[in-house]
């Protein structure tokens, strides 16, 4: 019965998306961020659900473009230019990288599958940039991450209360072990990027029970991060809580976030994440950089870049190339920036950095074009803090395929576009 209901829901969405591709974009991002195929996997067996969302959305996008119903003005900016250049250089690195076709025991990922995944991410990202172009669509799109994170916060805490996890909590995955949140760091990053949304939605809501309800999710999201025992997630949670606090409309409540986070960590942090954090501190004090695994990976990555500065070693080829650039045991890059630099070259890395900086600068610069207390005003801060948390964690986590960053970039692009329009209207 559940599979029939799911199929009917997807069919209705498909027909609606043919005429309104923006709705299909919203459905696609909800599907990709929530991952229902891993939570309720038994309903999705034998059903290619994402394709039933993606295909009619793409067809609807083409038809809407032909009849002039889409606003391409929204993508005429440097932010989108850098984003397109980034994807272009990443795709080129698949065809030009010398290690893409190398097959050895350190081939952590199939480069072709990673290429297909990146193509899917780019297509939906580009359609999202064009389709989410007004306040109404923006508002619906902006609720995707908090809605998905709200359910997964509940899911994570229920695993704790029922005792259905061991040592470190992984995200939902099916019986084969497949799941985008199978990696604890990725699962933790979902909550890191969502916490600012709950905090600023609390300020936006006027009714007290909605405001305090949104704020109440924050400590449970902290607890979900603690359960993953992700050190990167812990740093990210602390950073976004601190940044949200200092950018709070009321400083007293904002600054209360910092001691609240410390209390939550001491009280509910759990032994696993505390032991891993203490282990990190001890290693930092005792070990030299030559034997630090993360620094070994960074050193190897920089050597890959110096040997292949323009093309990189090839998309998803960090592991294959590692033995030729280091005597250490091959490992992942442990840094989004190092991985992009090593695998796709200097142009991809610079494009990515400028793409993200364009998002941050635009949000910071144009937030005050919106009236204080408006949804867009608080959303600017939520996206800004969320991106800052993500980019900080990206220094020491491999997150270049983390789709939420592109979701946040769409929100940033739309907010900047609407703010500029508002600025022009105000000047007249």
Q: How far, in Å, are 113, 379, 423 from residue 371 at the CA level? A: 45, 12, 11
211 and 261 inside one domain = yes
166 and 59 inside one domain = no
66 and 78 inside one domain = no
Q: Which residues of the chain have pLDDT under 50?
A: 287-290
57 and 112 inside one domain = no
Q: Transcribe 270-287 into DSSP letters.
A: -HHHHHHHHHHHHHHHHS
User: Could you give the number of structural domains in the chain?
Assistant: 2
Q: Transcribe 170-202 into DSSP letters.
A: -----TTS--TT-SHHHHHHHHHHHHHHHHHHH
For the chain, helix, strand, coil in percent to 5 are 75, 0, 25
HEC states along 308-334? CCCCCCCCCCHHHHHHHCCCCCCCCCC
Q: How many CB atoms lie within 10 A of CB 260?
A: 15
294 and 402 inside one domain = yes
Q: Indicate the DSSP class of residue 167.
A: S
Rounded to the nearest 10°, the torsion over CA 175, 178, 181, 185 is: 110
Q: Where are the alpha helices (DSSP H) in 78-182?
A: 78-96, 111-131, 135-142, 144-162
Q: Which of 123, 76, 29, 81 is nearest to 352 (CA)?
A: 81
Q: The domain containing residue 31 runs over which residues?
A: 1-70
User: Tokens at residue 81, please?
Assistant: 């230019």
152 and 117 inside one domain = yes
User: Tokens at residue 166, please?
Assistant: 């061991």
User: Tokens at residue 241, please?
Assistant: 């809580």
Chosen domain end from 70, 100, 131: 70
Q: Which residues contact 350 (CB under 8 A, 6 or more apart)?
A: none
For the segment 243-277, what is each residue's pLDDT rounded down to a tens digit?
999 999 988 888 888 899 889 888 877 667 666 66
* Residue located via tokens 């084969």: 176
Q: How many CB atoms lie within 10 A of CB 388?
A: 20
**pLDDT confidence of residue 42:** 85
Chosen domain end from 70, 95, 125: 70
Q: Indicate the DSSP class of residue 371.
A: P
**pLDDT confidence of residue 49:** 87
280 and 354 inside one domain = yes
211 and 360 inside one domain = yes
62 and 112 inside one domain = no
Q: Transcribe 35-88 into DSSP letters.
A: -HHHHSHHHHTT--HHHHHHHHHHHHHHHHHHTT-S-GGGG-SHHHHHHHHHHH
62 and 167 inside one domain = no
Q: Which of 133, 242, 136, 246 is nearest to 195 (CA)?
A: 242
Q: Distance (Å, rounded) from C-alpha 333 to C-alpha 340?
A: 9
Chosen domain end from 70, 98, 119: 70
Q: How many CB atoms lie within 10 A of CB 411?
A: 26
Helix axes 184-204, 208-228, angle to 10 degrees: 170
81 and 41 inside one domain = no
pTM: 0.95
27 and 137 inside one domain = no
């Amino acid at each position: 019965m559940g599979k029939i209901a799911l199929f009917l829901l997807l069919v209705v969405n498909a027909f609606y998306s043919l005429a309104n591709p923006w709705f299909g974009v919203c459905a696609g991002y909800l599907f990709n961020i929530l991952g229902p195929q891993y939570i309720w996997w038994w309903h999705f067996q034998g059903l290619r659900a994402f394709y039933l969302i993606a295909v009619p959305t793409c067809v609807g996008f083409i038809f809407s473009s032909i009849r002039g119903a889409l606003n391409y003005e929204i993508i005429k900016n440097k932010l989108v230019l850098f984003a397109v250049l980034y994807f272009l250089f990443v795709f080129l690195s698949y065809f030009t990288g010398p290690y893409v076709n190398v097959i050895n025991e350190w081939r952590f990922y199939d480069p072709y599958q990673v290429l297909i995944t990146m193509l899917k991410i780019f297509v939906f990202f580009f359609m999202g940039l064009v389709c989410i172009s007004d306040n109404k669509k923006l508002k619906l799109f902006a609720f995707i991450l908090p809605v998905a994170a709200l359910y997964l916060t509940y899911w994570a805490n229920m695993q704790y209360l029922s005792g259905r996890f061991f040592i470190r909590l992984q995200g939902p995955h099916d019986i084969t072990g497949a799941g985008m949140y199978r990696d604890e760091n990725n699962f933790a990053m979902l909550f890191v990027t969502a916490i600012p949304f709950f905090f600023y939605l609390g300020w936006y809501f006027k009714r007290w029970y909605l405001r305090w309800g949104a704020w109440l999710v924050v400590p449970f999201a902290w607890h979900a991060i603690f359960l993953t025992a992700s050190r990167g997630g812990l740093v990210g949670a602390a950073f976004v809580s601190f940044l949200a606090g200092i950018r709070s409309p009321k400083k007293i409540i904002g600054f209360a976030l910092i001691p609240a986070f410390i209390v939550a960590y001491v009280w509910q942090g759990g032994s696993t994440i505390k032991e891993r954090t203490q282990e990190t501190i001890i290693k930092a004090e005792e070990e030299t950089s030559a034997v630090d695994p993360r620094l070994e990976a960074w050193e190897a990555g920089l050597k890959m870049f110096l040997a292949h500065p323009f093309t990189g070693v090839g998309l998803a080829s960090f592991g294959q190339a590692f033995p030729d650039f280091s005597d250490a045991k091959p490992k992942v890059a442990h840094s989004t920036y190092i991985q992009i630099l090593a695998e796709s070259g200097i142009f991809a890395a610079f494009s990515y950095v400028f793409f993200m900086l364009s998002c941050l600068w635009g949000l910071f610069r144009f937030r005050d074009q919106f009236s204080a207390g408006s949804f867009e005003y608080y959303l600017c801060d939520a996206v800004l803090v969320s991106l800052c948390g993500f980019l900080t964690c990206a220094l020491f986590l491999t997150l270049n395929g983390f789709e939420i960053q592109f979701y946040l970039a769409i929100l940033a692009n739309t907010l900047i576009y609407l703010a500029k329009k508002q600025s022009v209207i105000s000047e007249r």
